[in-house]
Amino acid sequence: MSSSMYLISSSIPYFATCTWDLLSFTGTKGDIQLMADMGMDAYRFSIAWSRIFPNGSGEINQAGIDHYNNFINALLAKGIEPYVTLYHWDLPQALEDKYNGWLNPQIIKDFVVYAETCIEKFGDRVKHWITFNEPHTFAIQGYDVGLQAPGRCSILLHLFCRAGNSATEPYIVAHNVLLSHATVVDIYRKKYKRKQHGSIGMSFDVMWFEPATNSTEDIEATQRAQDFQLGWFMDPIFFGDYPSSMRKRTGTRLPTFSKLEAALVKGSLDFVGINHYTTYYGRHNSTTIIGNIFNDTLADSGAITLPFRNGKAIGDRASSIWLYIVPRGIRSLMNYIKEKYGNPLVIITENGMDDSNSPFISIKDALKDQKRIKYHNDYLSNLLAAITEDGCNVRGYFAWSLMDNWEWAAGFTSRFGLYFVDYKDNLKRYPKDSVKWFKSFLTST
C-alpha cells in the first residue's frame, strides 16, 4: 500500500501517497523522484516489525535498521516528509507461535519495545508516527470471520476456521491494541516528544453509514454500526470507555479498563488518521438468523450494512466488490467526527479506488483512468467543503496508492495505483492519466 503528495488547498498542509511496507515499493531513488516530480511533500509507509526484530523480540536486526534509515534519508533529501506506520497487520510469526499474538497481554510489552526501538532509531527524522493501521480490520478479519491472518473464528462451529471464538477474541485483540497504543504514546510524550518534536496517532478504517430508511430502528442501527466500527476505538481514546451500545449488547464479553488504563488510553492521540473509501446503508437486523449463525460482532451490533437499497446501488462501483463511489460520505464523516469528538485534528491517511487488472486491457488503455480522476476530484471537493464551509479540522490527505501493488486477498487483480506497474516487465512503472491530473492539481494549489 502506498501514499505521497502535498494537498487540497491552502487549507490542507500536505498531500501524499502511502505504502504499507516496502515489499512492493523498493525505495529506489527513481521511485522517490516520481513523488517529487508530482509535487508530493509527504509519503506514508509502514515498518515491518520482523525486519527490526525477526523473532518479534530479542536481538535487533541491524540490516533492517539500515534499510529504513536509507529510505527515510532518501525521502528527506527530496523534501518528502515521512509518515511512518508501526503496525500494518504483519505480526512476527514467532510471537503468534509463542503465545497467540494479540490475544495475549504479553503482546503489549513486546510491541512497546519494538515501537520504542523505532522511535529511538528514526525519531530524529520521523516527526509523524501512526501506531496502528486499521485495528478494526485486523480484529474482525483475523479473529471474527477468519479471512486474514491468523485465520481464527468460530463461525458454524469452526467449519471455516480450525480455532477461535468470534464472540470474544475480536474484543480481546482490540483491547490489547488500545493498551499497546496508549502505552507507546505515553512513553513518546514523556521521553521523546520534547526532543524530537513529533506527533503520534492511529489510522482507522471508516465507512460512512446512511440509514436505509427514516425509521427510528434504522437510524439507531446505523449509529450502532458506527459504534462497532469507529467508536470501538475512538470512544476509549476520547471518553475513556467503549460506546454504551457495545457495553449493553456484549456484556461481559467486552473487556473493561481499570481506572489507570482508562486514564492512560484517554487522550492518547495527537491526530486521528482516517482511511475512508466508501459509504453503505445501515439497517436494523430484524431477524435472528445472523445471530444464530455467526454469534460475532456483526450479530452484536444488531445492524446490517449493505451498498444497496431497494435493489439499487448507493453509487457507481470500482473494481473491488466492496468499494462503491459515494463522495458525499467523506464530508458527512468529517462532520460526524467534528461533532462527536470535539473537532480533533484529522489526517485522511487513505482514500482511493481501484481498477481491475484485466489481461484483455492494453497498458495504453489502462493508463486512461478517468474514473479515478473523477473519484479523487469529487472526494477532494467534498473534503474541501468540510474544511472551508463546515470548519472540520482536516490537515492532510494521502491518496491510495502511489503504485499498483499486492492488494491483500485480491492480490494483483486489483490496481489502486496512480502509476501502472507492469508485472510482466520487471515492474516497470507507467504514469496513468491521474498522475498528470494530480501534478496539475498540486501545482495549482
Where do we find the cell 502511502?
18
Q: What CA–CA distance (Å, rounded) separates 439 from 444? A: 9
* Interacting residues of 240 by C-beta distance below 8 A, sequence separation 6+: 257, 262, 263, 265, 266
Cis peptide preceding 401, ω within 30 of 0: yes
φ and ψ at residue 431, rounded to 5 degrees? -70, 130
Active site residue 81: no
From CA 326, how far away is CA 43, in angstroms rounded? 26
Contact 43, 18 (CB under 8 A): yes
Q: How far is CA 121 from the centre of its chain?
A: 24
Grid coordinates in use for 23? 515489499
DSSP per-residue letters across 108-125? HHHHHHHHHHHHHHHTTT
Give the other-Cβ count within 10 Å of 401's Cβ. Answer: 27
Q: How far is 75 from 73, CA to CA, in rounded Å?
A: 5
Which set of grid coordinates corresponds to residue 149?
491472518
What is the four-CA torsion angle of 345, 351, 174, 112, rounded to 10 degrees? -70
User: Among 81, 169, 261, 350, which one carries the catalytic annotation?
Assistant: 350
Assign 404 to helix, strand or coil.
coil
Q: Are 397 and 16 in contact (CB under 8 A)?
A: yes
Q: From the CB of residue 312, how many other CB atoms can be counted at a distance below 10 Å?
A: 7
* Distance from C-alpha of 201 to C-alpha of 272, rounded to nearest angstrom: 6
Residue 341: enclosing H or E segment and its boundaries? helix 328-341
Q: Where are the beta strands (DSSP E) in 6-41?
A: 14-19
In the 8-state DSSP scheme, what is residue 153?
A: B
C-beta of residue 200 within 8 angstroms of C-beta of residue 185: yes
> Helix count (H) and strand count (E) of the chain?
18, 20
Out of 134, 210, 261, 407, the active site residue is: 134
Is 217 catalytic? The answer is: no
Give the distance from CA 252 to its chain's centroid: 28
Active site positions, annotated? 134, 350
